[in-house]
Amino acid sequence: MLGIIGGTSLLYSDLPPLGRKVLSTPFGRAEVLEGEIVLLLRHQGGIPPHRINHCANLAALAMLGVGRIISIGSAGSLKGEITPGSMVIPTDYVSSVEIPSIHDHSIVHVRPEISHGLATRLALAVPEATLGGTYVQTRGPRIETVAEVKALALIADLVGMTVASEATLARELGMEFAALCTVDNYANGLGKEVLTYEHILETSKEHACRTSRVMEQIIRELG
C-alpha cells in the first residue's frame, strides 16, 4: 500500500475522500486518513516541526501495511539555480540534528537511504519535478541564520525540517521512501525578500492547486 506524508502545502489542498483513523503505537498515538492510500498530515493540529512524533507516525503507517512512502513537504533552496516554485526529488540527505530511532533499546545499525527505484518512479509520475540533489535537515521551528545557510550550502541543495527523520525511520521499519520537495523560498540571505514564516505560508497557498494535481498524479501512478 502507498502512504503519503504531507506537510504545510497539503493543508491548503483538495484531498481525496479518506476516512479518519487514530492508531495507538508503541511510541504514542497517530492520526491518519485511510482509503485507497494512507495519508498522514504531519502538521495537523498545528504541530511544529520540532514536536512531530516521527516514530509514532511511521509506526502507524507500518501497522497499516504501508510498504512505500512518498513524503511531500516544503523546502528552502540553498542554490541560486533551484528557484522558488520548482519541485525537487532529492536522492540523498544529511542531518544537522539528532535523528529519532525505533531502536532505542538495542544495537541496530541501519544503512539509511532514499529508495532509488521509488524516487525514479516518482519522477516519472511528476515529470515537472527535478530528480537529484541533497536535502539537509535542521531542527526548527526557527529559520536558519544567514551564516548557517552559507555553511549548509556547501553540503546540500535543499534545507528542511523533516525528510531525514522520516527517511531513516522508514528504512528501519522496512518501507521504501522517496520525497517530493516543493521549493517555496530561497534560504535565508539568498533571496531579495526578508524571509518569514508568513512568506512561506503564502507561497504554499499559492501552489495549493498544483499540489492537489500532483497528489492525484502520484496516487494514479504509484497507488
Q: Is the pLDDT assigned to residue 201 strictly greater than 80?
A: no
CB–CB of 183/82 below 8 Å? Answer: yes
Q: Could you report the per-residue pLDDT of 20-37, keeping only the tens digit for each?
A: 999 999 999 999 999 989
d(CA 109, CA 125): 32
Rounded to a whole number of angstroms, the distance between the first and last alpha carbons of the chain is 7
pLDDT at 79 over 80: yes
pLDDT recorded at residue 45: 77
Q: Is the pLDDT of residue 195 over 80?
A: no
Above 70 in pLDDT, residue 210? yes
| Averaged confidence pLDDT in the chain | 91
CA distances from 110 to 42, 113, 137, 171 (A): 24, 9, 18, 7
Identity at 78, one-letter amino acid code:
L
Provide the pLDDT for residue 11. 66
The share of the chain scoring above pLDDT 70, in percent, equals 98
What is the average pLDDT across 48-53?
92
Q: In this predicted model, what pLDDT tens digit does every residue of 93-112 receive, in sequence order?
A: 999 899 999 887 777 788 88
- Rounded to whole angstroms, how far apart are CA atoms 51 and 27? 13
| Residue 204 confidence (pLDDT) above 80 | no
Q: Which domains does the chain have, with CATH numbers?
A: 2-222 (3.40.50.1580)
Confidence of residue 53 (pLDDT cuts 50, 70, 90): very high
CA–CA separation, 8 and 42 (whole Å): 8
pLDDT of residue 132 exceeding 90, the answer is yes
How far apart are alpha carbons 15 and 12 in whole angstroms?
Answer: 9
DSSP 159-174: EESSHHHHHHHHHHTT
Mean pLDDT calculated for residue range 160-182: 97
CA atoms of 143 and 121, how far apart (whole Å): 32
How many other CB atoms are found less than 10 A from the CB of residue 168?
A: 23
- What's residue 70's pLDDT? 98
Among 41-50, 67-76, 84-93, the minimum mean pLDDT is found in 41-50
**Distance in angstroms (rounded) separating the CA atoms of residues 80 and 191:** 9
**Mean predicted confidence (pLDDT) in 174-182:** 97
